[in-house]
Structure 1
Amino acid sequence: MTGSWRLAWDHGSAEVQSLGAMLGPLSLRIGDERELEIMHVAPWAGMTRSSSLPGIMRRLRGEWPCLPFGCTEPPQGLPAAWRTHAPEDSWNHGYAANHHWRCVSATGQRIHLAIDYPPGSPIEHMEREITADPHAPAVDVVLRVWARRPARVPAGLHPTFRLPPAAGRVRVVLGPHDGIHSYPAQPAGAVSRLLSDTRSASLDRLAGIDGPVDLAHLPLGAPAEELLQVRAVGGTGTDAPFALHYLDYDACVGLWWDTAQLPDLLLWVSNGGRIHFPWMSNHLALGAEPVNSIFDLGRVATAPAGHPLADRLGIAISPEAPWETRYRIAAWPQTSPTTSE
């Protein structure tokens, strides 16, 4: 059954659609006067031409789970030491991201959805619960994965945050990490300003084609499409491993997740760097994706043994018990403590 369901509570409101079980829009209320729309909604959603797009793209928005995570075609120009192989299926970012979920139960404070996977998949079915925090501008999410057979599956969550049009008005804040790795190939059909297959220590001084690139302040003033993996990122105390400071709102948004299960953060900076439909050179969004995967390549490529991300092989699932993870998205005024990079 197709449809959508709404959350509404004293500190915010949200919508969850059946396609991909995508959460978005999500509005969080900070105090009496500030209401922050934090989740991205693609501008082509609802356009006539969007009906021809793959399921994941048709009404792209907000946050959703991706299992198995990653693309189904290897990019051109991977370094010679990388080996490519065919994926087990043809669904970019997994079957669940491209199909409709069914509603198990729904109230104004909690939505519980489920989806069955095709018979050949090692995943039998998945469920996800999205709950509004009655005491805060926050939502809590639980994802459970039931397996048909033991397998190791590249896994990722896919929160995609809204960026305003004015350059540099959102500051990206990371917790402690072991370095930031650029994509090992140039993105197809897109403008990239980073040197491929490099490691940088800080988000504000990434190794760029024309010198250091600052991706800690978004949007950029020039078109770009970038994919980066932050290795072994973590929070400090109660601080989030990832946060955004919306400067024009004096507000922050944080993402907490189990970094033992999903140790890295994939950053997708979509900054008007793709010209073809549906992107049309005007797509602005920031994906902040907790992953156990090597970029989005775990289904189609294997890194050389010496690569710092070569051990990111995915989560272990088994019929003996469901795999479960929990995560949280919350907002707070800037006067509260934030994370440090």
Structure 2
Amino acid sequence: MRQTSGPTPASTTSPAAKNAPERWHIGNRFAELDIFATGAALHHARFHLPGGKTVSPMAEASWHETGLEGAAGHIQTIGGEWPCVPFGTTAHDKHHHGFGSDMPWQVLAQDDDSILLGITYPAGHKVKKLERRIRLLTDRPAIECALHIYVNEDCVLPIGLHPIFRLPQEEDAFAIHAHQHGRVMTAPQDIAPRDSKLAAHEVASETGQVRRKDGQSSNIWRQTVQLGEEIIAISDSEGHMRLDYVAEGFCADLRWDAKDFPNCLIWVANPGLQAISPAPHFQGIGIEPVNSYFDRNDLAPDAELAGGVTLRADQPWSCRYEISCSLLDTQA
């Protein structure tokens, strides 16, 4: 049973099943969550809102306790949120979403409402090590995450964050607010998922309408139940996305610095991962701040489109971002 407050020491953590990933727990009166060693991913986030309402906005795979034979580490533990260094498929790392997404991290420090984890990359990799701090705010229902990247040599790498939220299946139960942004485009044909229902390389209208393969159109902000598995790129984001869980009376906000991640990918898994054997149906919606060309930088037409963060060997690169929840009727 999970604690309702305080950490679960790493030395005493015992997985619920032999295949379950090692995990730790932090919590306070506003929020609580688990952290899996694989990917240093936060999972099972619960936000305690005014009036005694507790909400869980993050998606979680059904196979966490039993494992998924033959799947990559981040697919074994998919759901929640984790950092991707480098993001997507690149020539720099054989792991999709980077070595740190598939491998276990170590706890470096922990107290009641925060945890610091780290991972060292293999010799010869451009990345030397990563550190990640997850902290529960003490004045409201919010999680603050910080990522620090240390590299062995000056380089430019695609970097991204990978929160995956729950995706309600009822019409009018869910809405996305992308705030200020530039062009919104579906993935080109060579990147689009096999089970996509949207036409490839389509630009969304100002209201969010996108042409489908069947010739009709769907509103990607409010008609997610009509979609399949999709990858949609938002350019020039202001660094704020809000998800309204209309039927449940709350909203989840993701905020980041747009200078760090100027774009945002939306991965609609409705369901997703069907093309990745042996992954079964997984449902969720990834809201992924990135400096990247979709999640296939190896297919970028040129270096400018591939994007990336400029990293220097003489100083770490750092970013901070926040996931919070509030009652829907209090959101401006």
1:102 aligns with 2:96: no
CA distance 1:23–1:218, change in 2 (3 Å) = farther
Alignment map for 1:1-341 (pairs within 5 Å): 3-48=22-67, 50-71=68-89, 87-185=91-189, 190-202=194-206, 204-209=208-213, 210-217=215-222, 219-221=224-226, 224-234=228-238, 241-272=240-271, 275=274, 277-280=277-280, 282-298=281-297, 300-303=298-301, 310-338=304-332
Task: Provide the C-alpha distance between the structure 1 equivalents of 2:317 and 2:126, rounded to a whole number of angstroms.
Answer: 13
Kept after mapping to 2: 8 A contact 1:190/1:224: no
Task: Provide the C-alpha distance between the structure 1 equivalents of 2:142 and 2:206, rounded to a whole number of angstroms.
Answer: 28
CA distance 1:68–1:250, change in 2 (3 Å) = same
Letter in 1 for 2:264: L
**Aligned structure 1 segments of 4 or more residues deviating by more than 6 angstroms:** none
Kept after mapping to 1: 8 A contact 2:192/2:230: no
State the Cα deviation string for residues 232-288 of structure 1 (Å, max 9, x = none): 0115xxxxx2000001122111001010111000000000255465543x4210000
Deviation of residue 33 (structure 1)? 2.6
Letter in 2 for 1:56: H
Q: Which has the higher contact order (CA 8 A, sep 6+)?
A: 1
Kept after mapping to 1: 8 A contact 2:42/2:82: yes
Structure 2 gaps of 5+ residues are: 1-9, 11-20
Deviation of residue 200 (structure 1)? 1.8
Greater fraction helix: 2
User: Partner residue of 2:7?
Assistant: none
State the Cα deviation string for residues 102-132 of structure 1 (Å, max 9, x = none): 0001122001000001111111000000000
TM-score w.r.t. structure 2 length?
0.88
Letter in 2 for 1:249: E
Corresponding residue pairs, total: 311
Kept after mapping to 2: 8 A contact 1:193/1:213: no
Deviation of residue 186 (structure 1)? 5.6
Task: Provide the C-alpha distance between the structure 2 equivalents of 1:203 and 1:24, rounded to a whole number of angstroms.
Answer: 33
Secondary structure of the structure 1 residue equivalent to 2:112: coil
Deviation of residue 198 (structure 1)? 2.3
Structure 1 gaps of 5+ residues are: 73-86, 236-240
Letter in 2 for 1:302: A
TM-score w.r.t. structure 1 length?
0.86
**C-alpha RMSD over aligned residues:** 2.0
CA distance 1:188–1:44, change in 2 (3 Å) = farther
Kept after mapping to 2: 8 A contact 1:190/1:273: no
